[in-house]
Structure 1
Amino acid sequence: MAILLGAMACERQGGTAPVSPGTHVGYYVTTGGSSSGDGSSTSPWDLATALSGAGGKVHAGDTIWVRAGTYLGTYDTNLAGSAAAPIIVRGYPGERVIIDGNDGSGNDGFVVHGSYTWYWGLEFRNSDPTRTTTSTSSNFRPDVVANNGTHIKYINLVIHDGGVAFYTYTAMPDVEIYGSILYNNGWQGPDRGHGHGLYLKNDVGPVVARDNVVFNQFGYGIHIYSDVGDGRLNGISAIGNISFDNGSLASTGPSAEIGNLGQMNANNLEGDVPNRR
């Protein structure tokens, strides 16, 4: 409950305070940063530069601190740490970092490539207000975060108001999403509510969803599923998650909180609030 209330308080905050010089060791990103910067707290990078590795300047074991503000755009990351020394991309302590994929491109908001990287304490959204369509397509709204990398951890994220909140590509093993809050994702089609909180599939695994809070999607809370010929469902675990009120935004009513095909589920809490329409 504490993590949920904390996220809601964060959501109500308006604007951000001026960014003061950073004191933590590592590289820095600000909304006014530049590719010509050196990544220091006084000459920070823009987000795209940092996520591409800044021309080889970011190495295993480095930390990239993302400072307060809204970063509008779609991003593809390509960072490679090591098993002993992952790269960490983290929101600066005490600051609200929002990555908003509503740039008009229609592309997925934040696509993670690379390996051995942790994404920590970031908020992701798509501020496009359009939530209804006459199309039955499952791609009407872009995914917010899509994993296409190996040995990746997602820690204490907030993901909301997108298409699918978090999606895993099937060929990329060793992925964990932990302690994150996912809500208000998806859209209304003519057939049903589309867009799930966690959409998990994998050929090898492990893929672990642990201790997340997932609620108020148009579609499922946690969807462990693959169409024929579109990947397998191997090594996927959902452990200690709270999933409730999913499907409540759709005109068709509640959806499954956790939909799975024989995968490991342990100590998850599921529930629905009655449709009040």
Structure 2
Amino acid sequence: MLRWRAHQTPHDRSFMNPRSPLFLALAGLLLVACGGDRTDDPSAASGVSTAGPTGASASGAPSADVSGTPGDADATTDGSALGSGAGSASVESGPSGTGAGPESGGQGSGSGEPTGSGEGSEPSPGGSSAAPACAPIAAPVADWYAAPDGQVGAAGTRADPLPLALLFSTQGPVAPGERVHLLGGTYAGHFEVTVAGTSAAPVVFAAAPGERAILDSNVPGEAEGGLILRGGNVEVHDLVVTSTSPVRGQRQSGVVIYGPRTRLINSVVHDTAQGVSFWTPAVDAELYGNIIYHNGFTGPTRGHGHAIYTQNREGTKRIARNILFFGYGTGLHAYTEGGHLQGFDIVENVWFRTGASVPGSSTVGESDGCLVGGLQPVARARLVGNLSWGPAPHSRSLRVGWGGSVQNEDITLIDNFLVGHFSAQGHWRSGTIHGNAFHGTIVGMEPEVYPDNDYAEALPTTNRSVVHVNAHDPGRAELVVYNPEGLEEVEVPLADVLPVGAEYTLHSVMDLFGSPLRSGTFAGGSLRVPMGTLPPVQALGDPASIEGADDPGAAFGVFVLRSRCALWEPEERER
């Protein structure tokens, strides 16, 4: 069996060690005495977690115990100690407070009787202060408008829009720093973005506020993808990219990215040959907040096509807050045979049941949720605060390295909450591994070498919920709910996220564009989230693709919360 062997630097358990339990407990008491309800740690993330009565907040918010605060000693395979990593304490919505969490800004669990039609409940006496009053969100101003029936020679206004292909082109009128809104409707075609912005003035393409712009590549002709981003310093927001072709094996990839410093943000990519192809020339590019599912197709021997397929050499690709599920291949596939795997920040993503679109039900799964490894060395790869779920401890979740002979450089795993199987392959010069919760089987890593993690070869037994406030849409948050207790509704504390009196909608990722699971006016405290009330979304053209163990049911769910009021979040922090 492959193992990572390392020398572990002993912990300093003295009072002056700021990560020691004694220091954290006394700091929490001092914070309460001073009337504060949070601190801002510049090394923590900007997400908001839902801490239970005894959960320790990753941001340092006071709580009844700090047993979930892992140490920060790192280890290297050459026997030398690394400096402390930028980790954060775990936050559980259940009673245990154990395990590592990616979230910051914990708050009380929010107990009490519900008010209204289940929109909220009174916050518990120990909870954080409520979010500020509703601050309406100002709509961004567009310089140009596109429409499915836009005409060449038009003025480019909402009333007289241009064709999208022209606005994507260097032959069009779009200049650096300008914003293009896509009016609602279906844009059929294969689109290529060659226009470019600058680092200081990117070009932005976004769906017009409140409208759904769909790019459908089901048209005659061959193309590398439905949307190809070649120009640098371009941002794409809030689009839906898909293919309605009835033959899955004849579809193109969804989004193909080559442009340096490009950003694909808060978009939905589904039912294409491969969700996002994120290639080496896209230096310092980013994928953020995208929902990617049911991409790929079934081949003669296995499934093909991944949610995200990526390689990198220069700079650092950032892959953050994406939600990856179902499909015919791996969720996040950072793999190469002759290319490069250097420089990835993989932060606070969610993956579950990737590969499940392949016919038949399986608890193990057909593919990993995330793979970082190949036939070339991995270097500068950081996985921080990611969340995964599987129906069994042996369900495939995360694999780092590939094969037994590759000499990889370094890997960082901090504050990940992984439910399912973890595998490490190949040889590694160094590993920074702490603050993680491994709920599943492990191959290729010796837990005793990395003691500053929680290990359990069993599924979690207590509920847990995480709230990520979206960095690019002030009225949006993603809710991730683990429900091993099997409740019909789970109360997710939102007292310091959603303003009292704010109108909201809540959708499951299983039905993003249908009727909301819940809507109304927030009364404060917690939001009751229905679990397992929707059937799983099926692959287009394969209505029985998700069945049996493929379906999380009531055990796990991911939801999108939207409001016309700006959601509140702690001061932005860099992970």
Contact 2:207–2:239 (Cα < 8 Å) also in 1: yes
Percentage identity across aligned positions? Answer: 30
**Using the alignment, how far apart are the partners of 1:69 and 1:256 within structure 2?**
35
**Using the alignment, how far apart are the partners of 2:229 and 2:333 within structure 1?**
20
Q: Does 1:238 align with 2:346?
A: yes
Q: Does 1:66 align with 2:66?
A: no
Shift of 1:191: 1.2
Shift of 1:248: 0.8
Cross-structure match for 2:451? none
**Using the alignment, how far apart are the partners of 2:315 and 2:294 within structure 1?**
28
Cross-structure match for 2:195? 79
**Using the alignment, how far apart are the partners of 2:142 and 2:200 within structure 1?**
18
**Using the alignment, how far apart are the partners of 1:89 and 1:23 within structure 2?**
12
Contact 2:248–2:272 (Cα < 8 Å) also in 1: no
Cross-structure match for 1:16? none
**Using the alignment, how far apart are the partners of 2:177 and 2:271 within structure 1?**
32
Q: List per-residue Cα deviations over 1:175-196 (Å, max 9, x = no partner).
A: 1010110001110011111111
Contact 1:29–1:67 (Cα < 8 Å) also in 2: yes
Contact 2:248–2:273 (Cα < 8 Å) also in 1: no
**Using the alignment, how far apart are the partners of 2:149 and 2:257 within structure 1?**
27
Aligned pair partner of 2:284 in 159, 174, 186: 174
What is the RMSD computed on CA atoms of the aligned residues? 1.9
Cross-structure match for 1:6? none
Q: List per-residue Cα deviations over 1:27-67 (Å, max 9, x = no partner).
A: 000111012213122221111011104x3521111000100
Contact 1:180–1:213 (Cα < 8 Å) also in 2: yes
Partner-residue secondary structure (3-state), 2:383: strand
Contact 1:193–1:251 (Cα < 8 Å) also in 2: no
1:150-189 to structure 2, matched below 5 A, reads 150-189=260-299
**Using the alignment, how far apart are the partners of 2:264 and 2:281 within structure 1?**
18
**Using the alignment, how far apart are the partners of 1:220 and 1:141 within structure 2?**
18
**Using the alignment, how far apart are the partners of 1:180 and 1:126 within structure 2?**
17
1:239-258 to structure 2, matched below 5 A, reads 239-251=347-359, 253=362, 254=365, 255-258=367-370
Distance 1:34 1:191, change over 3 A: same
1:121-200 to structure 2, matched below 5 A, reads 121-131=238-248, 141-200=251-310
Cross-structure match for 2:232? 115
Cross-structure match for 1:104? 220
Contact 1:156–1:180 (Cα < 8 Å) also in 2: yes
**Using the alignment, how far apart are the partners of 1:197 and 1:205 within structure 2?**
22
Instruction: State the one-letter code of the partner of 2:155.
Output: D
Cross-structure match for 2:152? 35
Residues matched between the structures, number: 246
Partner-residue secondary structure (3-state), 2:195: strand
Partner-residue secondary structure (3-state), 1:61: coil
- Which of the pair has the greater relative contact order for Cα pairs under 8 Å at 6+ separation? 2
Cross-structure match for 1:47? 164
Q: List per-residue Cα deviations over 1:98-127 (Å, max 9, x = no partner).
A: 000111323111110111111001110011
**Using the alignment, how far apart are the partners of 1:26 and 1:212 within structure 2?**
28
**Using the alignment, how far apart are the partners of 2:231 and 2:162 within structure 1?**
19
Contact 1:150–1:174 (Cα < 8 Å) also in 2: yes
> Which portions of structure 1, spanning 4 or more consecutive aligned residues, are displaced by more than 6 angstroms?
none
Shift of 1:264: 1.5
Q: Which moved further from structure 2: 209-218 or 35-44?
A: 35-44
Partner-residue secondary structure (3-state), 2:341: coil
Q: Which moved further from structure 2: 40-49 or 218-227?
A: 40-49
Under a length normalisation based on structure 2, what TM-score does the superposition of the two structures give? 0.41
Q: Does 1:269 align with 2:403?
A: no
Q: List per-residue Cα deviations over 1:240-271 (Å, max 9, x = no partner).
A: 00000111111375210001125211111122
Distance 1:104 1:205, change over 3 A: farther
Partner-residue secondary structure (3-state), 2:261: strand
Q: List per-residue Cα deviations over 1:144-191 (Å, max 9, x = no partner).
A: 100011110111000000011001222230110101100011100111
Gaps of 5+ in 1: 1-21, 133-139
The structure number with the bigger radius of gyration is: 2
Contact 2:264–2:286 (Cα < 8 Å) also in 1: yes
Cross-structure match for 2:563? none
Distance 1:111 1:220, change over 3 A: same
